[in-house]
């Protein structure tokens, strides 16, 4: 049975990762003219506002205990793209904000590794390792060019209007397509190698390897 320390090692980085990711979307949208997230109380780092019972708790827990792989999602922050000052251009920045926040958090967790080394805390070291991995996973996964993932939004903003409209029609099926790709091994063949490469590069950069 999982102990409380192990639960904290995984839960704290995951909660921070999804909370900051969603808040980043809302924050950038607010800066660019859409205040939907702020008006609905979602422009906050309070994780309770972002937790989705199924996507944040049930699915990740089930996957962890059955396969060791963690995949999940939070409640999407509401964004009214038509309220943005330049909808097609600004949609790109709103979409990129989420993965960018995860890359930044991975760097912050990298800093926690040094604190763990200085203090000799294995608990902090383990949590930092999970923090780095989960944030890199979320960033890379969300950058896949598949709507409604952030990468799909980026792709849609870059395509000509007609192609963008046709591309967006994939959105209702996006989650099923993603689950199918994960089942077929895209995690092991594409996402995980990219995550490991970035992690190794970052560790080498700061002299941890």
> If you write DSSP's letter for every residue of 97-114 in order, what string do you get?
HHHHHHHHHHHHHHHHHH
| Catalytic residue, candidates 22, 34, 90, 150 | 22
**Would you state the structure tokens that stand for residue 52, as one six-digit string?**
């989705």
More confident call, 98 vs 55:
98
Asked whether the beta carbons of 81 and 87 are under 8 A apart, the reply is yes
171 is annotated as an active-site residue: no
* 8 pLDDT above the threshold of 70: yes
**Would you state the structure tokens that stand for residue 138, as one six-digit string?**
């979320």
Could you give the count of Cα atoms lying within 13 Å of 176 in the half-sphere of its Cβ? 4
Confidence tier at 68 by pLDDT (50, 70, 90): low
Kindly list the domain boundaries of the chain, sorted by start residue. Answer: 4-205
Instruction: State the helix-helix crossing angle for 4-31 and 87-119, rounded to 10 degrees.
Output: 150
Confidence tier at 116 by pLDDT (50, 70, 90): very high
Q: Which residue pairs from 52-60 have beta carbons closer than 8 angstroms and sit at least 24 positions apart in sequence? A: 56/18, 60/14
Asked whether the beta carbons of 72 and 60 are under 8 A apart, the reply is yes
């Amino acid at each position: 049975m999982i102990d409380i320390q192990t639960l904290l090692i995984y839960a704290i980085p995951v909660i921070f990762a999804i909370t900051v990711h969603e808040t980043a979307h809302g924050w950038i949208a607010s800066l660019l003219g859409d205040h939907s997230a702020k008006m609905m109380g979602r422009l906050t780092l309070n994780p309770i506002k972002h937790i989705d019972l199924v996507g944040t708790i049930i699915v990740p827990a089930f996957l962890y205990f059955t396969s060791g792989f963690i995949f999940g999602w939070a409640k999407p922050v509401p964004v009214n793209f038509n309220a943005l000052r330049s909808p097609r251009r600004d949609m790109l920045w709103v979409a990129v904000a989420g993965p960018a926040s995860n890359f930044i958090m991975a760097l912050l967790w990298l800093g926690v590794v040094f604190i763990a080394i200085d203090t000799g805390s294995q608990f902090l070291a383990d949590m930092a390792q999970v923090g780095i991995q989960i944030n890199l996973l979320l960033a890379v996964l969300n950058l896949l060019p598949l709507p409604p993932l952030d990468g799909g939004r980026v792709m849609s903003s870059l395509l000509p209007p007609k192609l963008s409209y046709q591309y967006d029609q994939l959105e209702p099926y996006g989650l099923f397509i993603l689950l199918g790709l994960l089942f077929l091994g895209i995690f092991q063949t594409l996402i995980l190698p990219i995550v490991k490469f970035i992690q190794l590069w970052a560790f080498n950069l700061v002299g941890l390897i």
